[in-house]
Amino acid sequence: MQTASYAQLDETLHIETLENGLRVCLLPRAGVQKTFGVLAADFGAADTAFLAGSGSIKTEVPLGTAHFLEHKLFDNQAYSVHAAFAKLGAETNAFTSHVETAYEFSAAEHPYDCAGLLLDFVQLPNFTEKTVEQEKGIIEQEALMYLDQADRQLYLGTLTALFREHPVRHEALGTIQSVYSTTKKHLDLCHELFYHPENMVLFIGGGFDASRMMEKVRDNQQAKKFSRRPSVWKMKPAEPETAAQEEHVFHMSVSRPKCMVGIKEYGTAISAEDLQNRLLLTRLVLGCLFSRSGAYYKILLEEELIDYSFQYQNVSDRDFGYTLISSTTDSPHDFAGKVKQLLLDARTVELPEEDFIRQQKKLIGGFLRNLNSIETIAQQQPWYLNHGLDYLRQIEVVQQLTVHDARRFLNDWISEDRLGVCMILPG
Amino acid sequence: MMVAEEVQLINNLHVHLIPSKKFKTITAELYMNGALDRGTVTRRALLPLVLRKGTADDPDEALLQEKLDDLYGAVLHTGSLKAGAHHIITCSLEFANERFIPGASSIAKEALALLNSVFFNPDLPGEVFPEGRTAEEKTVLRNYLEGLKDNTAAFADARLEEEMAKTDSERIKGFGYVEDLDRINGATLADCYRQSLLEDRFDLLIIGDFDPVEMSELVHAEMIGRQGFPPLLNNGEAGAEVSRSLEEPKKVVEIWDVKQARLHLGCQTGITYADDAFVSLLLVMMLLGGHSGSKLFSEVREKHSLAYDINANLDMYSGRLYIRGGIAPEDHAQVLRLIEDQLDAIQQGSFTETEWREAKALLINSYRKAADSMSGMLGVVYQQVIGRRARTPETIIQELTATTREQVIDTAKRIAMDTVYLLTNGEAG
């Protein structure tokens, strides 16, 4: 077991890669009562095509398979997963993003038993064809719930405008049609390929003893037999650099129009170093321009194009990246036009150093705030590790950036053919 | 291990200091607790929005925001909420603890001064709030109130609450009313602010990794002891009363263009946070629909695949138990029957030893875990203020441990279905 010390943060991380390939990270924190564990597979909703096995056969699974599998791992014929955790006074949950599937527990006692249980129910599935069929109605209800959520539809509409082929353009749970076409075989295959210990990270933080926890995890893994992982390459369709659609407009029952401008950052794979830079620089630059103290925010507010619902976010990942800027607005066309114009103007802006330093401080404070929560660290660190980065070093990386880095990034950031707009109009 | 809280009453400001080594930031939150009143509620809902936009020191929103950003991105929230018969205006500031940032100092000092300005030294030129800002925030509130119906679950909640109201005070909406907005201006809003300073009870809660003596000194220097700190008169509580009348269940159906129907049920229990039976009511809620092993979750979702979300929750200050589900429109009668059966089962004592142990363990652990998060800790401390009963997490855990099955069955029997609210499309009967 190795340790990584983060002296400034007063934290120590215990790390070990087990014989079967499982990466284990433990973050004990003194005085904390609860323990929070995450077991994450590097497999998400956007992984629907891959080359697998010795013959490297191209295999495709229906949209939403990762999410469907997440539901079915909770449905164990031998015991109730929820009840087993509840018996230990703990709770369990899971989520599927476009790039990973994560299973969690939150416990106030019995942390070692909970860790074992988490590994068992995720690694040893036990569901039947019949229960796969039963699940379809539940997922359909979940899908229908999202169809009524205007903000979610706005977000998906924008992704559809930006990406032509990449599966990130679809709802993580797929479509109602794809859910009904999913079979037990699809789920079994994905479990075999992507839930192999080599493709997973276990992160546990909170009130426990690190040596005892590591021993517990080792014993649990040694008692299980894993065959060698078949070779597997995830496949992504060729994605053009430009946005798929300039504008995407539809109607829903909303009281006022909603508009979102999307920037397609990239749609093919980038290096870990590039990813680290983009993660921070995009956020810093967005903060300089669009945060409440940003120059562009003030312009949009003065021209009465936005209200309190105005927001922006950036998602940067291995092979896709996008930025979304949105508001409820009475003049969606003017909002879209203005935001696009401002973004294009950014190519020639000389970013003031004062603004950069302010956003840098703000980003540092934001990381510190997130570090309050063991849940957040446990949810973030597996993603960072799977992408060759370290969540607990982000403050150090931010402190090393200079205004020159930000200026270079900003002036090279936007091109018109990578912008896409989505609008929801009332009625 | 639990909440070690130090309370001081200084110039009628109740200061609660909660030192804890678990956090990398510090949160200071002010609470201004007044009576819920139809005549003032819209102004009180507007007030935190206006306060958030400028202070006497930083009358411009952008300046205020720059100051927050320079304080390592301190996060300022103002808001209001209805809790039973109380209307509470809150203002919280979360800021980085300087000991975790190389080269940073005086963040806490500047942060407390800023919090003080927002709440106690607002931008009031000529003793009124600026008309331009007041008008802007009126628009914000109007848009918010009109936009509530975009979220069907929240809309169904609000409609159910309205249908359940038995008294005038219960009928009052905590977010205010669109029709009041025209009559509000900078002067009437300033009157409301001054009146609240005189009548409301004020609490200041601070949590984080600090030395209580030093923090107490900072509170004096930057807040209470500052020139212009207003005299607060109320050192007690705002009044609260709870309706306990029970009538026949009422059914309300509304038709909208929705894909998924919302079935929301409201029950009266007559039991609030201040009552002995409150803890056994928590257990009923947990058994019924408080977690993913609860009766509702396993029957309605797992066994019959009739809902994606189905749960029960409690408004601890009004004594109402809510059951909420998102379902297919055609299934509403079947789901309602299943819900009634589950409540009936608990009233008959028909729950297994396992269900019982789980419900208890989860509640006990949720109170243990509350002490691990800032918001959890602040919530538990302030609950006692509004709930008018001293209950620390430790005493609640003791009460939970001592509660018997018979007490829970007795409490369940006091629960009466009040209103069944269905928001659905016109396609199914």
Residue type, A391: Y
Which residue type sits at B389?
Answer: R
Nearest CA in chain B to A9: B100
Residue window 19-38, chain A: list those with CB within 8 Å of chain B.
Answer: 29-34
**What is the percentage of chain B residues whose pLDDT exceeds 90?**
56
Query: Is B372 a residue whose pLDDT tops 90?
Result: no
Residue B4's pLDDT is what?
61
Cross-chain CB nearest to B96 (options A109, A307, A365) = A365
Percent of chain B with pLDDT over 70: 95
Q: Which A positions 167-206 lie with beta carbon below 8 A of chain B?
A: 206
- Rounded CA-CA distance A411/A406 in Å is 9
Estimate to the nearest angstrom the gap between the alpha carbon of B243 and the chain centroid. Answer: 19
Of the two residues B425 and A259, the one the predictor is more confident about is A259
Yes or no, beta carbons of A31 and B75 under 8 Å apart: no
Spell out the residues 6+ positions from residue A129 whose beta carbon is closer than 8 angstroms to its own.
A183, A184
The two three-digit tokens of residue B206, written as one number: 């601070």
User: Could you give the 3-state DSSP secondary structure of residue B85?
Assistant: coil
Residue B63, C-beta contacts closer than 8 angstroms, at least 6 positions apart: B54
User: Residue B369 and residue A9: Cβ atoms within 8 Å?
Assistant: no
A181-210 pLDDT, tens digit each = 999 999 999 999 999 999 999 999 999 999
Taking CB atoms and an 8 Å cutoff, what residues of chain A touch B100?
8-10, 368
**Could you give the CA distance from residue A123 to residue A118 in angstroms, rounded to a whole number?**
8
On whether ipTM exceeds 0.85, the answer is no
Interval B158-186: pLDDT, tens? 888 888 887 777 788 888 999 999 999 99
DSSP string, B306-327: -EEEEEEEEETTTTEEEEEEEE
| Chain A residues touching residue B361 (CB < 8 angstroms) | 86-89
Q: What is the pLDDT of residue B377?
A: 85
CB contact under 8 A, B61 and A292: yes
CA–CA separation, B168 and B315 (whole Å): 18
Q: Is the pLDDT of residue A262 over 90?
A: yes
Q: Which of B115, B73, B65 is nearest to B92 (CA)?
A: B115
Beta strands at A200-206 and A23-28: parallel, antiparallel or unpaired: parallel
Contact yes or no for B65 and A292 at CB 8 A: yes
| E runs forming strands in B256-361 | 261-268, 307-315, 320-327
The per-residue pLDDT for range B198-207, each reduced to its tens digit, is 889 999 999 9
Enumerate the residues of chain B whose CB falls inside 8 A of the CB of residue A87: 354, 357-358, 361
Q: Tell me the residues of chain A between 86 and 105 that have a Cβ less than 8 Å away from chain B.
A: 86-92
Spatial CB neighbours of A297, under 8 Å, sequence gap ≥ 6: A289, A290, A291, A306, A310
pLDDT number for residue A31: 82
Phi-psi region of B123 (alpha: psi -120 to 50; beta: other; left: phi over 0): beta
Given a contact cutoff of 8 angstroms between Cβ atoms, the answer to whether A408 and A233 are in contact is no
The reply to whether residue A292 touches residue B62, judged by beta carbons under 8 angstroms, is: yes
Q: How far is CA B402 from CA A413, B242, B408, in A?
A: 63, 27, 11
Closest CA of chain B from A270, distance in Å: 30
Radius of gyration in angstroms for the set of CA atoms belonging to chain A, rounded to a whole number: 23
State the average pLDDT over residues A399-416.
Answer: 95
* Interatomic CA distance for residues A165 and A151, integer angstroms: 23
**pLDDT digits over A38-80, tens only?**
999 999 999 999 998 777 789 999 999 999 999 999 989 999 8
Give the number of A-B residue pairs with CB atoms closer than 8 Å: 170
Q: Is the pTM of this model over 0.90?
A: no
For an interface test with A, give the residue of B292, B335, B356, B397 to mutate (most A CBs within 10 A). Answer: B292
A363 and B CB contact within 8 Å: yes
Q: Which residues of A belong to the active site?
A: 70
In this structure, the strands spanning A321-328 and A419-426 are: unpaired
| A425 close to B (CB below 8 A) | no
Residue among A10, A82, A371 minimizing CB distance to B292: A82
Mutate to test the interface with B, among A27, A88, A138, A145 (most CBs of B within 10 A): A145
* 8-state DSSP, A78: S
What is the three-class DSSP state of A229? coil
For residues A29 and A374, what is the distance between their CA atoms, to the nearest angstrom? 9
- A200, two tokens: 């997973």
Averaged pLDDT of chain A? 94
Strands A23-28 and A11-17, how do they pair? antiparallel
Cα-to-chain-centroid distance, residue B345: 30
A255 — contact with chain B (CB < 8 Å)? Answer: yes
Chain A positions touching B297 (Cβ under 8 A) are: 82
**A271-300: pLDDT as tens digits:** 999 999 999 999 999 999 999 888 999 999
Q: Which of A235, A314, A262 is nearest to A418 (CA)?
A: A262
pLDDT in tens, A335-369: 999 999 999 999 999 999 999 999 999 999 999 99
Identity (one letter) of the amino acid at B425?
A: N
CB B6 within 8 A of CB B212: yes
Identify the closest residue of chain A to B99 by CA–CA distance: A8
Residue of A nearest to B309 (CA): A142
Q: Do A86 and B94 touch (CB under 8 A)?
A: no
Per-residue burial over B195-214, b if 16 or more Cβ lie within 10 Å, else e, is ebbebbbbbbbbbbbbeeee
* For range B389-393, the mean pLDDT: 83
Q: How far is A399 from chain B (nearest CA, A)?
A: 10
Smallest Cα distance from B176 to chain A, Å:
17
CA A30 to chain centroid, in Å, comes to: 29
- B108 contacts in A (CB within 8 Å)? none
Residue A43, classified by CB atoms within 10 Å of its CB into exposed (0-12), middle (13-18) or buried (19+), is buried
Give yes or no for residue B107 having a pLDDT over 50. yes
What letter represents residue A398's amino acid?
A: V
Tens digits of per-residue pLDDT, B211-257?
Answer: 999 999 999 999 988 877 887 777 665 544 444 444 567 888 988 88
Which of A310, A369, A375, A392 to mutate: most B Cβ within 10 Å? A369
Q: Which pairs from B197-200 meet CB under 8 Å and 24+ separation?
A: B197/B230, B197/B232, B198/B232, B198/B233, B198/B234, B199/B34, B199/B35, B199/B233, B199/B234, B199/B238, B200/B32, B200/B33, B200/B34, B200/B89, B200/B234, B200/B238
CB contact under 8 A, A91 and B292: yes
Residue A94 class from Cβ within 10 Å (0-12 exposed, 13-18 middle, 19+ buried)? buried
- Cα B426 to Cα A73, A147, A426: the distances in Å are 36, 17, 20
Compute the nearest-CA separation of A34 from chain B (Å). Answer: 6
Whose structure tokens read 């509170």?
Answer: B219
B46 token code pair: 């507007």
